[in-house]
Structure 1
């Protein structure tokens, strides 16, 4: 049995025939010159004003690839100015021999404002979890590497239990009144065979049969090229506006904020291992997070990192850590339709939820590469709306639905089925909020990363095809490819939710 989730509605419903307040104001004000000209019997100016009004209506109301025409114009101008001025081009300090402090992150674009702190020791091993501070968006974050057995072989009851566990996790985060967003990032990485190479080095007998050795080597070469690994990360994001007061009670400063984040980690850890069904939850330290960041920008570097970690177990003098000054790319150049970083190109697209609902596990085709060397990654973000804001939004949406229904009745316009369904979902939302459920506005971003030796545009089309095959609609994030890549690939708490991230 397939579980289909369709209990979601638009974030905003237009008050007047689907138009928002500012759209209605623009349309009404631009129509005033037409009425003035008609009242004065100036028919030629009235015709000109009417034509101008039609253009204003098209520009204001009609969306083009998810954005208004005015938004496209402003974004295109800012992108062109940044490219011509060289503001968007990134070259790392290490690439030009100017990396003086190796512990300072040197990351491009929206990640430039990130600073990494080591939290206080915790647990028997004295582990110091990495605390991510984003000066641009004024947020703090911690990231965990998680392992889930998947739902491919799960029955309907077990899938429903996992879905309920996720909703309970969001409710738990909402009740803390601290967590602002939960980010779940999954990367499907081409298998590099590094672990198997290390295992063969330790266990292969030098006197073994030659034929068996050849067969095993050929099998490894064939299977490694067609295999993938899955990496999953979960990030808790807390804004400074909420964390500051609680941090003062815990001692203040970075350490006080880290202690508050540790308490949130403990609450979420229990829920993740319990109802959500995670079999492994490991909160990343600074070296582990740096390695995850580096392999996000350069998937091919993982084999060298694994070799260094293996050598470090036998020779402590081997430095297996990735310094933060080298965790980013040596160079990055955003283009209009893709993002170029080191020897790789990436294309990102957001995923639009279908009206008929989404089946649990439907994102699997999006994470399936089509060729060896191709990496797919998906970010599913759950921005958690505060209880007061959720109540106001629910009341406003319900009022807008009632207003729209009343206007259609007065104008004797037959309501469309979509409008009726949206109004019913909005009215049902208030009942759920009254019963203690939290309100979230989830979205997803998918990214494909390929070497520069192949055509990125072709793999972008394959990503779009995978999204459609999964039952969703893709929307390419043109002119924002660098932000989308950072959000969907690098587990540092960056998302598309905040204005500072876009």
Structure 2
């Protein structure tokens, strides 16, 4: 028996035959000119205006690839304006030799306003956790590298238990009224063989048996093309509006906010290690986070860092850290259907949840590379609505479901099974909120990264096929590839749904 998660519903339900308020307003106002022409008896003008009203209705209501025609028009205008003005093109300060502060992050796009702070010493090891401040969105975040054994070898009760653990984590975060979003990122990276090469150099003897040397060389050639490594990160995001009042009681300033974040980290870590079954949770320091960002933009740089870390063991004077001024790409250029950064191209797509529900562990094909050299990344974000906003959203959805059902009954329209299911889930949300559950608006983004010598369109098609094979529907995030890549690959708390504060 498999564990299926299907207790989700549409974010908003249109109360007038599925139309939202602004769509209904546009259609109602657009119908006035034909009515005015008919009242005057000008039937020719009325017919022309009526055809224009129908065209406006199609443009306003009909969606294609996740957006209406008006949405595509706005996105195209914004993208064209940014490209013509050069706002979307990024060139690192280090490429011009103009770096003045190595600790100042130089990152592209939505990460431009991000600043990394060293938190106060924490725990018995006195580690300084990296505190991520986003000045544009007015948020604070911390990131942990996590290790999970996976779900492939677990039975249905164990999967259900870990799924319930995730629900407990989100409910606890909602009750604390501090965390607004919890983001998980998984990166499946081709193994560059750096650790194995170090091991062979340290342990291979020049006068060793020829057979053992041949066996190890054959293993190296076989493993380098097929082996992959998995990196997982968990990021907790807290807005300034919520943390400010708590920080005042903890001393104020950066240290006060860091202490509040440390308390949140302790609660989240307890849930991750407990009910969710994480084997290890390590909150990243600033150098560790910089390395995670650099290998996110340039996966091929990891081998050089491993060599530097090995050299530092012999010579403490070797600098193996990645400065924040060089943690980003040397150059980045977004295109309509992919994102170009350094010597790599990436294509991103979001996934649409199926109506029949999603099986726990079904996303494994999305993270499995099809060809050597490609990297797969997947991000799932859990934005947590405040209790008051969740109650209003639930009441509005229930009211819209009731009104829509009554309108269909009045005009004699048959209510389809899909509409009945959406209405039932909307009516059941209120009882769940009353029992203390949190309202979450989850979404996921998957990304494939390949060298520029490869055709990224082919790998993007393979990624879409993997998403469909997993039981979901892919939706390419055209004209938003830069934000999608950063959100799904760089663990700095970037969100696709958060509004700028």
Equivalent runs, 1:325-404 vs 2, <5 Å: 325-404=325-404
Moved over 6 A (4+): none
Q: Secondary structure at the match of 2:356?
A: coil
Matched with 1:248 is 248
- Cα offset for 1:127? 0.2
User: Using the alignment, how far apart are the partners of 1:323 and 1:98 within structure 2?
Assistant: 14
Q: Which residue of 2 aligns with 1:445?
A: 445
Q: 1:95-106 alignment to 2 at 5 Å?
A: 95-106=95-106
Aligned mates of 2:193, 2:175 — CA distance in 1: 43
Give runs of aligned pairs for residues 84-123 of structure 1, distance below 5 A. 84-123=84-123
Q: Matched residues in 2 for 1:313 and 1:271: separation?
A: 35
Alignment of 1:179-218 (within 5 A): 179-218=179-218
- The equivalent residue for 2:35 is 35
1:177-207 deviation per Cα after TM superposition (whole angstroms, max 9, x unaligned): 0000000000000001111122222222332
Cα root mean square deviation, aligned: 0.9
Q: Give the Cα separation in 2 of the matches to 1:226 and 1:383.
A: 36
Q: Secondary structure of the residue that 2:235 maps to in structure 1?
A: strand
Per-residue displacement from partner, 1:104-139 (whole Å, max 9, x unpaired)? 000000000000000000122210000000011110
1:10 partnered with 2:10: yes
SS of 2:121's partner is coil
SS in 2 for 1:121: strand
Partner of 1:228: 228
Q: What is the alpha-carbon distance in structure 2 between the residues aligned to residue 122 and residue 413 of structure 1?
A: 63
**Residue 173 of structure 1: how far off its partner (Å):** 0.8
Per-residue deviation at 1:85? 1.6
Separation of aligned partners in 2, 1:423 and 1:469: 29
Task: Please give the per-residue CA displacement for 1:333-373, whole angstroms capped at 9, x wherever unaligned.
Answer: 00011000000000000000001110000111000101111
SS at match of 1:129: strand
Q: Secondary structure at the match of 1:414?
A: coil
**Within 2, Cα distance between the matches of 1:125 and 1:320?**
21
Q: Determine the structure 2 residue equivalent to 1:289.
A: 289
Task: Output the CA distance in 1 between the equivalents of 2:37 and 2:499.
Answer: 41
1:456 Cα deviation (Å)? 0.5
Report the Cα distance in structure 1 between the residues aligned to 2:499 and 2:463, rounded to whole angstroms: 27
**What's the secondary structure of 2:232's corresponding residue?**
strand
| 1:318 aligns to 2:335 (yes or no) | no
Q: What's 2:132 paired with? A: 132
Number of residue pairs aligned between Structure 1 and Structure 2? 501
CA positional deviation for 1:208? 1.3
- Three-state SS of the structure 1 residue aligned to 2:492 is coil
**CA displacement, residues 474-501 of structure 1 (integer Å, 9 cap, x when unaligned):** 0000000000000000000001011349
- 2:117 match: secondary structure: strand
Q: Secondary structure at the match of 1:128?
A: strand
- Rounded to whole Å, the distance in 2 between the matches of 1:217 and 1:479 is 45
What is the rounded CA distance, in whole Å, between the counterparts of 1:138 and 1:448 in structure 2? 30
Question: Is 2:167 aligned against 1:167?
Answer: yes
User: d(CA) in 2 for partners of 1:120 and 1:64?
Assistant: 49
Query: In structure 2, how many angstroms separate the alpha carbons of the residues matched to 1:435 and 1:273?
Result: 25
Match of residue 457 from structure 1: 457
Match of 2:498 in 1: 498
* Distance across 2 between alignment mates of 1:72 and 1:201: 56
Matched residue of 1:98: which SS?
Answer: coil
The separation in 2 between residues aligned to 1:426 and 1:173, in whole angstroms, is 23
Deviation at 1:420, TM superposition (A): 0.4
Name the counterpart of 2:176. Answer: 176
Unaligned ranges ≥5, structure 2: none
**Structure 1 equivalent of residue 467 of structure 2:** 467
SS where residue 458 of structure 2 aligns? helix
